Structure 1
């Protein structure tokens, strides 16, 4: 048997191995993100995936392996896969994934559809070739939803299927279209985007915080196990006045543009 055939024969066995978590990394590349910011995102994730802290978190798991995939999103029809489903068990696996993240990046597309990103991530999880203890969508972005399905609808669809959504709101500006950003994006993510068992978000207030925020986020996502009876976080968490989860769509209309789904 040749080396290529031997490798192919081994892949199904590897694919059937259970993993502690199936993690979808969904990264905003809408026009509000500058070229420099997109590069910083890729570099930050590559550094986090290969960090000692993340690799240690993987070793602490019951199966000592995770499945990970990475795609970039913008409007509700734009989703570009950068890394397909990959197993990470050790530093060699992590370096292979990181090398793919360090490849040449390109500008995304107009509009910001967090709901489109979530729905694409759900489809990716539906096609996972691994048995996963937990399924997590890790979504980052620098603005509110302004196209496609309302973000709370997409979020509720995902968490109803047992998927957890965590957030990395980028409280930054710099790209074309940043006039559609909002100052309280962290509250928007907390009230409108994240959800499911043990969900959380980590805001990034400046790009020098990004590498550490990503590393902390991955460690928590990998290291936090399922909890029996954990409540599903509702689309609105009201600590006082309810948050307007259509703020992005309304801001788009105020700028004189029409909505489209």
Structure 2
């Protein structure tokens, strides 16, 4: 892949707490964000004119839903949106293994076949870690490797989840955590989050 301004791994919670309708809202929100002109334009606005994006689904296990794609404009952003919408829900619903999910996301960033000015892991979910490696030490490994880890906490199951993300998930230069009340608000939240990540934290 040609050099990009950003390699962005979207790590998405598909654990048992995410039901069929919520999964549809989440995937639809992600796809809709990349079809939005402001997000497609942001992807092409950097010095290298493109970002690399991959999508990872995680629960008690992890699966690459969309392999790395180069997004440098409206057509490529639309192709990514189509790939997101067509990705099957794998792995099967299981525990909220946030630490292992983050580790899989970092490994996917490590396999990015190109040069990126920035590396970002974007973690979204609706529950605190409850299985496997704790997220804090995984976060520290990622930060030491130069990755910025951001979070989007969906508060419909756990109203205090944002604090967990702030304490255990996010880290690195410019790291931030956002929240939304439920999956109905996910589309707006993920669009604002992506704009901030792609533009390098310069957008309020």
The yes-or-no answer on 1:132 pairing with 2:116 is yes
Query: 2:12 matched to 1:36?
Result: no
User: 8 Å contact 2:41–2:73 — kept in the other structure?
Assistant: no
Q: Computing the radius of gyration over CA atoms, which structure comes out larger, 1 or 2?
A: 1
**Partner in structure 2 of residue 24 of structure 1:** 9
The 3 A distance-change label for structure 1 pair 104 and 160 is closer
Give the corresponding residue for 1:84: 67
The answer to whether the Cα contact below 8 Å between 1:189 and 1:201 also exists between their aligned partners in 2 is yes
Aligned residues: 201
Structure 1 CA distance for aligned equivalents of residues 120 and 87 of structure 2: 26
Deviation at 1:151, TM superposition (A): 1.1
Separation in structure 2 between the aligned mates of residue 92 and residue 145 of structure 1, nearest angstrom: 37
CA RMSD of aligned residues (A): 1.5
Match of 1:53 among 15, 38, 41: 38
TM-superposed CA distance for 1:96, in Å, is 1.0
Find the aligned partners of 1:207 and 1:117 in 2 and give their Cα distance.
20
Give per-residue Cα distances to partners, 1:120-164, cap 9 Å, x unaligned.
Answer: 111111111110000000000110111111111111111111101
| Structure 2 unaligned blocks of 5 or more | none
CA distance, structure 2, for counterparts of residue 206 and residue 79 of structure 1: 23
Residues 1:94 and 2:84 are matched in the alignment:
no
Query: Cα distance, 1:193 vs. partner?
Result: 0.7
Equivalent residue for 1:71? 56
Matched, 1:221 2:197: yes
Judged with a 3 Å threshold, the aligned counterparts in structure 2 of structure 1 residues 104 and 86 are, in CA distance, closer, same or farther, namely closer
Give the CA deviation at 1:57.
1.4
Do residues 210 (structure 1) and 186 (structure 2) align? yes
Question: Does the CA-based 8 Å contact 2:44-2:71 persist in structure 1?
Answer: no
Where in structure 1 do 4 or more consecutive aligned residues deviate above 6 Å?
none
Confirm or deny that 1:147 pairs with 2:131. yes
Distance 1:73 1:160, change over 3 A: same
Tell me how far apart the structure 1 counterparts of residues 116 and 29 of structure 2 sit (CA, whole Å). 25
Query: What TM-score results when the alignment is normalised by the length of structure 2?
Result: 0.94
Normalising to structure 1: TM-score of the pair? 0.74
